[in-house]
Chains A and B, each alone.
Chain A
Amino acid sequence: MAIAFPAPRADVLAKRDRVVAALRAIVPGEGVITEEKERRAFETDALTSYRRVPMVVVLPETTEQVAAIMAFCHAEGVPVVARGAGTSLCGGSIPQEDAVVLGVAKMNRVLDVNFADRTMRVEAGITNLAISGEVAHAGFFYAPDPSSQLACTIAGNVAMNSGGAHCLKYGVTANNILGLKLVTVEGEIVEIGGGALDSPGYDLIGLLVGSEGQLGVVTEVTVRILRQAEGARPVLFGFREIAQAGQTVSDIIGAGIIPVAIEYMDREAIHICEAFAKAGYPLDVEAMLIIEVEGSEAEMEAMLARIVDIARRHDVATVKESKSAMETAAIWKGRKSAFGATGRVADYICMDGTIPTGRLPDVLAGIDRIVKGYGLRVANVFHAGDGNLHPLVMFNVNDPAEQVKAEHAGEDILRLCVQLGGCLTGEHGVGIEKRDLMREQFTEVDLLQQTRIKTALDPKWILNPAKVFPLDAPRDEAPREAA
């Protein structure tokens, strides 16, 4: 195992019975899970190569229960790992043996829909897709659309600042949240923001979104909802050379055109996804772009005409427009199931670096070199418009040596992203997976400023331990007190 977990604390394990009793007093009935075979269901997330069975699992149904759980665990110094649907790709919700898993999945109600203000208040355990589903009848939707949107919760989206294929136009989670109900580590309930576009004081919503469960537990979220475009049409562009696809992306944006999505797939990814989704992807090309435009029929045609013109200047080999809602669904099914489809042909680790889009050819050549150097294969799917890369490094999980190689290849790819001016993670988060690479991107004082905030809001470091920060990250002993 390459990624270390801290040894479980004997003092915490020793009081397991008392913890269970206290949790049962807070959450009656089946909301406290103690049987080992049931706890095992919570031992990992979508980073399945790492597993730790938690000490106990609690599934509260109200914010007040969450507050009571936090107050108890904080007083007792018991680690708490908050969990949505457990779809994190970076191990952001993998527990440890001395931790309470606090699952918010039972808190999944819609609390308020306000079409006049274009906002919606939901409990944190609702799934991403259920939010849009609630308002689809009126032609509205919630914009960020991670590939796991059928399963993943808004709680997890808030924790990871999730993106998706359409955030080129609509932004990521942080740009679409107006309010949070937060339970602090001490068990206080705090309302931040609400129906207005900004809130007084420091931007705590901005700080909490993407904080990976390090600073508190979110139980309610006020999201912006948007009116759907009149129509949306994805078009497939196949290229014989990778560089042609990269140049097409640069020229589209350089020409002042911002499509709603620009997705890139390489030959390997095209073949894997086509075999799974039968989306009509071109199989005789090295690279493919899925470019989606929105608007009325006339608007889409005008914009597509310009995009096709640019692609032709770069010798596009195939142009295939969706002709029906069914084709559109198939095209997106292929892209959004890229991870699952790859899982059918091999085990893989999914990387998530971001690069300046102008460096796309460099990073593709670099990834190829790195992966071949380890004797492995890779399928590349990218959000090309914003430079967010998802190389899927394939390996055989039954070959421990190959798994280590794949992890090393992944790390080398992320180092390359940082060297090219990018970052370790664009939308999946750091979790345990990239924790030990943080020094590639940050200096000691950069990390120290972050850990000071962590210490200020979670003085005992009991929230989602051993994630985000290297285990030996610099930190102050106690919170700094204002003068």
Chain B
Amino acid sequence: MTLHTPSSPADLAAVVAEARRAGTLLAVAGGGTRSGLGRPVQAAAKVSTAKLSGITLYEPAELVIAAKAGTPLREVTEALAARGQRLPFEPMDHRALYGTTGEPTVGGVAAANVSGPARINLGAARDSMIGLKFVNGLAEDVKSGGRVMKNVTGLDLVKALAGSFGTLAVFHEVCFKVLPVAEGERTLVVAGLSIPRAVEALSAALGSPFEPTGAAHLPATAGEAARTLIRIEGFAASLAYRTDALSKLLAPFGGIETLEADASAAVWAEIRDAAIFSGTDEAVWRLSVPPSAAPALAERLAPLSPRIVLDWGGGLVWAGVAASGDAGAARFHAAAKAAGGHATLVRAPDAVRGAVDVFSPPAGPLMAIQRKLKASFDPAGVLNPGRMYPGV
């Protein structure tokens, strides 16, 4: 496979122009740590953003940072941390799940709209993305949005492109709004709840005025009962007050233990990265549903998936299943649909992901709109062909 590593937007446009002229299909890659996410791409050449790297703008007092697409995410998070700031959406690190090495990039996070537990309160990657520069499938260098956090000028291509998995355009620069790191965090833990009771507890916490930034449920393990976890953040007096208030609210669900600073951060990193599936050979599914639908969904999946993790108050369901056959595709998509949501086959062998729906297919007229959107950015279908759906 030919590898292109353009070092400027103009070079990038030239690579796409040549591929378009020659009818070559282009795989689009950042750091390659999430290449197992989506359908396998059949392409003769690959364009990497590796040489489009570096922070281009950071204004802490304006809560904004921009970086070229190939910039390692670590560079951005370290620069932010040095000034007491962070990316609000707490992006998942897929390396442990996939057993990949290398560095996740800014462009990869944007292209896959990678978000973590804080999404429940602080939004997804797409909510923090305020500007994007990209080369579309027509080899045009286009921008949308900018560096200010309120901007409704023209169509919002930034959101249309967040989570487009390189199928509409190759990003070369991304601008994010950021937030201060909270002064402290604490996690309240209730042990031994069933999934229905856990979702009730999480719903009560999320419907309170105490603004949890994490609401998850981890299944029982050999040595430990199931844990229902609620994270709060803030300054010391606020943490103390909210711990007290939430403890009273959650008293009907059982005794409350607390995890402080580092222990709290560690458990949320596990939840963020779906760590219980690391190092196993199961296929891994991620289902996004209304939280109140999670208990029935979990019951339906239980015969296939003994271990189920809930995040986003029950709105995000992680499940493992034997990787054989269709890796449960038919049943997971049907179950997600019945629950009012959708499913993604996050981890499975290439052969499986090439044969089944990795992402729940949108219903008829909605799929037609998706194809129209694809055609308006990449009419010849040069970029990451088939990564999301056949032909898209």
| Residues of A near any B CB (own CB < 8 A) | 114-119, 139-140, 160-161, 163, 167, 171-172, 174-175, 184, 188-192, 194-207, 209-211, 214-215, 227-230, 250-251, 253-254, 256-258, 295-296, 298-299, 302-303, 354-358, 383, 386-388, 421-430, 434, 438, 441-443, 445-450, 452-457, 468, 479-483
- CB proximity to A under 8 Å, residues B78-119: 84-85, 113, 119
Indicate if B75 sits at the interface (CB-CB under 8 A): no
A195–B209 touching, CB < 8 Å: no
Q: Find the B residue at minimum CB distance from A297.
A: B241
Which of B238, B292, B340 is in CB contact (< 8 Å) with A302? B238
A426–B59 touching, CB < 8 Å: no
Chain A facing B: main interface SS: loop
Distance A139 CA – B272 CA, assembled complex (angstroms): 30
Which residues from chain A contact B148 at a C-beta distance below 8 Å?
354-356, 386-387, 421-423, 426
**Residue among B60, B144, B147, B151 with the highest chain A CB neighbour number at 10 A:** B151
Indicate if B183 sits at the interface (CB-CB under 8 A): yes
Which residues from chain B contact A189 at a C-beta distance below 8 Å?
365
Distance A281 CA – B298 CA, assembled complex (angstroms): 56
Known A-B contacts A229-B209, A256-B181; A299 and B64 likewise in contact (beta carbons under 8 Å): no
| Residues of B near any A CB (own CB < 8 A) | 59-64, 84-85, 113, 119-120, 123-124, 126-127, 136, 140-144, 146-160, 162-164, 168, 179-181, 183, 203, 206-209, 234-235, 237-238, 241, 245, 288-293, 312, 315-316, 340-342, 344, 359-363, 365-367, 369-377, 379-381, 388-389, 391
- Per CB-CB distance, the 7 closest pairs between chain A and chain B, nearest first, are A206-B159, A195-B290, A256-B180, A426-B150, A480-B379, A482-B375, A196-B341
A457–B372 touching, CB < 8 Å: yes
B237–A197 touching, CB < 8 Å: no
Distance in angstroms from A469 CB to nearest chain B CB is 8
Which of A171, A250, A453 is in CB contact (< 8 Å) with B373? A453
A197–B288 touching, CB < 8 Å: yes
B147–A299 touching, CB < 8 Å: no
Distance in angstroms from A15 CB to nearest chain B CB is 28
Known A-B contacts A199-B342, A298-B241; A117 and B291 likewise in contact (beta carbons under 8 Å): yes
CB pairs A–B below 8 angstroms (16 shown): A116-B291, A184-B365, A191-B363, A197-B288, A202-B373, A203-B113, A203-B126, A204-B370, A204-B373, A214-B155, A358-B59, A386-B149, A423-B151, A449-B157, A449-B376, A454-B155
Which of A190, A207, A387, A430 is in CB contact (< 8 Å) with B159? A207
A482–B371 touching, CB < 8 Å: yes
A202–B163 touching, CB < 8 Å: yes
A422–B146 touching, CB < 8 Å: yes
B126–A445 touching, CB < 8 Å: no
B376–A456 touching, CB < 8 Å: yes
Which of B162, B315, B391 is in CB contact (< 8 Å) with A196? B315
Q: Find the A residue at minimum CB distance from B240.
A: A298
Distance in angstroms from B381 CB to nearest chain A CB is 4
Known A-B contacts A118-B207, A204-B366; A456 and B375 likewise in contact (beta carbons under 8 Å): yes
A386–B150 touching, CB < 8 Å: yes
A196–B289 touching, CB < 8 Å: yes
A115–B144 touching, CB < 8 Å: no
Known A-B contacts A200-B359, A358-B61; A449 and B142 likewise in contact (beta carbons under 8 Å): yes
A206–B162 touching, CB < 8 Å: yes
Distance A345 CA – B324 CA, assembled complex (angstroms): 74
A161–B62 touching, CB < 8 Å: no
A358–B62 touching, CB < 8 Å: yes
Distance in angstroms from B126 CB to nearest chain A CB is 6
Which residues from chain B contact A197 at a C-beta distance below 8 Å?
119-120, 124, 288, 312, 315-316
Distance A259 CA – B31 CA, assembled complex (angstroms): 37
A449–B136 touching, CB < 8 Å: yes
Known A-B contacts A197-B120, A479-B376; A388 and B150 likewise in contact (beta carbons under 8 Å): yes
Q: Find the A residue at minimum CB distance from B344.
A: A200
Which of B84, B113, B150, B391 is in CB contact (< 8 Å) with A198? B113
Distance in angstroms from B337 CB to nearest chain A CB is 10
Which residues from chain A contact B342 at a C-beta distance below 8 Å?
196, 199-200
Which residues from chain B contact A483 at a C-beta distance below 8 Å?
379-381
Known A-B contacts A117-B292, A174-B156, A481-B379; A201 and B136 likewise in contact (beta carbons under 8 Å): no
Distance A184 CA – B369 CA, assembled complex (angstroms): 9
Which of A161, A215, A449, A456 is in CB contact (< 8 Å) with B140? A449
